[in-house]
Amino acid sequence: MSSKKFATAINCMDGRVQIPIIEWLKNKYGVDYADVITEPGPNKILAEGKNQPVLASIKKRLEISVNKHNSGLIAVVGHYDCAGNPTEEKTQLKQIRSAVKTVKSWGFKVQAIGLWVDDNWKVCEVK
């Protein structure tokens, strides 16, 4: 078992958002590593709650990250210019809030937050 601190990002598969999210989690939450679960437009998938096989897959990967790496934080991500979720920012922010609720409903005993990556690839927390 590692003594390093982990967070878990449920991030888009988009290559442009990987490093910004990992760096943000390291800087803001003081973690050593971020486990990354990727899907195209995960905020949409988690907000809609329709695609059961994908939801089950995300949940299974979260269990590994939380139980085996003792991750203390789950971050759900949405971003500008998302090919998997090509909708406006306002809608995506709503989806992020809803997606965080979905993750919280799974009962992991860790904090869950939402993150938005803007058109400058800057990360901000979605309250």
Per-residue x/- marks for Zn ion, 80-99, CB under 5 A?
--x-x---------------
- How far apart are alpha carbons 50 and 53 in whole angstroms? 9
Question: Roughly how many angstroms between the first and final C-alpha of the chain, as a whole number?
Answer: 33
Number of neighbouring beta carbons within 10 Å of residue 59: 14
Q: Which is nearer to Zn ion, 46 or 66 (CB)?
A: 46
Q: Which is nearer to Zn ion, 72 or 84 (CB)?
A: 84
CB of 61 to Zn ion, least distance (A): 18
Total number of residues that touch Zn ion (CB under 5 A): 4
Q: What is the dihedral of CA 12, 114, 32, 17, to 10 degrees?
A: 30
Asked if 35 interacts with Zn ion (CB under 5 A), we say: no
- How far apart are alpha carbons 10 and 47 in whole angstroms? 13
Q: Report whether 110 contacts 9 (CB < 8 A).
A: no
CB of 102 to Zn ion, least distance (A): 18
Asked if 10 interacts with Zn ion (CB under 5 A), we say: no
Q: Which is nearer to Zn ion, 80 or 110 (CB)?
A: 80
Asked if 76 interacts with Zn ion (CB under 5 A), we say: no
Binding site for Zn ion (CB under 5 A): 12, 14, 82, 84
